[in-house]
């Protein structure tokens, strides 16, 4: 049974339609991604799921609860990390976790969370003294202090450097390994491709696609790129005549062939027939970023 069901969700602000007829479900144990350009409506959708924002049409069910009618019950079962959440700069790590634990009827042991999320050395540090990565560890611990069945992370790694971002990815995988379903809002392609079981791509408030990362890449029919240095003079027409090839370009001695389907086999076969060896051969497969651009017409931000 899905733990989250969204049907025909609609949210407007005056004359502006922020979310229009969006439907999806999230299965228990998934890391489910909500991906889209800035301003696409990702955060609005998730805030409707969390019960932080009222929607104007459609239905939302979270573990069988209505986010507005059953707000207090839902608050006990869902852990939330907000997109822009700040704590008082003088609040200590242990104080924050202890305080948050009092909000729940059956909280986790906040002392164990300090250990579990690598915050022992920062236990007595104030929030304003923490690095970006340490703040994210604390943010995750605070989202889990209520023993939730669902954790929501909204742009969790936006302000982090590449190393801290990858460390945070490992933490998110650890959250799922503990049996928590994760709803992840992001605009980082690598993050979504690595972490998510399925992804809802949002464009201008509407659902543009819903599939696994591999399924989105395949459906976008993005092109492959094959790069090599030919061992002998090569007439480009040998390659452009192939049905799998869409273009051939050169940069010095290096040849780049773009195409689809069995591009590698077709190119290597024709080179072999003409006794040409493709040195420094490298294949660049389509990525989630390629699929994203094709689906939204927008280049991703911050990758």
Query: pLDDT of 245-279, one tens digit each?
Result: 999 999 999 999 999 888 999 999 999 999 999 99
Does the pLDDT of residue 302 top 60, yes or no?
no
Residues 177, 246: Cα–Cα separation, whole Å? 43
- Given a cut of 70, is residue 301 above it in pLDDT? no
State CA 39 to chain mean position distance. Answer: 16
Hey, which residues does 2 pair with through a beta bridge?
27
| pLDDT surpasses 50 at 204 | yes
Q: How far is CA 292 from CA 19, 163, 204, 210, 283, in A?
A: 19, 24, 13, 12, 20
Residue 108 above 50 pLDDT? yes
pLDDT at position 171, please? 86
Q: State the first-to-last Cα distance of the chain, in angstroms, to the nearest integer.
A: 34
> Measured between alpha carbons, how far is residue 79 from residues 110, 153, 265 in Å?
14, 9, 49
Q: Report the mean per-residue pLDDT for the chain.
A: 91
pLDDT at residue 280, as a whole number: 95
Q: What is the pLDDT of residues 19-31, one digit of tens each?
A: 999 999 999 999 9
pLDDT of residue 78: 94
pTM: 0.81
């Amino acid at each position: 049974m899905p733990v989250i069901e969204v049907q025909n969700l609609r949210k407007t602000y005056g004359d502006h339609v922020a979310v229009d007829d969006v439907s999806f479900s999230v299965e228990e144990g998934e890391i489910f991604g909500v991906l889209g350009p800035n301003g696409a409506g990702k955060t609005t959708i998730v805030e409707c799921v969390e019960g932080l924002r009222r929607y104007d049409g459609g239905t939302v069910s979270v573990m069988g609860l209505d986010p507005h009618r059953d707000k207090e019950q839902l608050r006990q079962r869902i852990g939330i990390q907000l997109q822009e959440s700040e704590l008082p700069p003088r609040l200590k790590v242990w104080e924050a976790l202890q305080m948050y634990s009092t909000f729940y009827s059956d909280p986790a042991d906040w002392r164990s969370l300090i250990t579990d999320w690598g915050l022992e050395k920062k236990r007595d540090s104030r929030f304003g003294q923490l690095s970006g990565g340490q703040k994210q560890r604390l943010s995750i611990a605070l989202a889990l202090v209520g023993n939730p069945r669902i954790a929501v992370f909204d742009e969790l790694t936006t302000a982090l450097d590449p190393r801290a971002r990858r460390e945070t990815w490992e933490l998110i995988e650890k959250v799922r390994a503990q049996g928590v379903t994760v709803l992840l809002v992001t605009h980082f392609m690598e993050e979504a491709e690595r972490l998510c079981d399925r992804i809802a791509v949002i464009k201008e408030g509407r659902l543009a696609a819903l599939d696994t990362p591999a399924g989105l890449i395949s459906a976008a029919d993005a092109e492959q790129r094959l790069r090599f240095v030919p061992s002998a003079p090569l007439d480009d027409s040998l390659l452009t005549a192939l049905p799998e090839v869409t273009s051939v370009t050169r940069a010095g001695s290096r040849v780049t062939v773009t195409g689809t389907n069995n591009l590698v086999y077709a190119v290597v076969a024709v080179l072999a027939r003409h006794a040409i060896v493709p040195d420094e051969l490298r294949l660049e497969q389509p990525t989630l970023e390629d699929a994203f651009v094709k689906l939204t017409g927008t280049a991703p931000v911050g990758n």
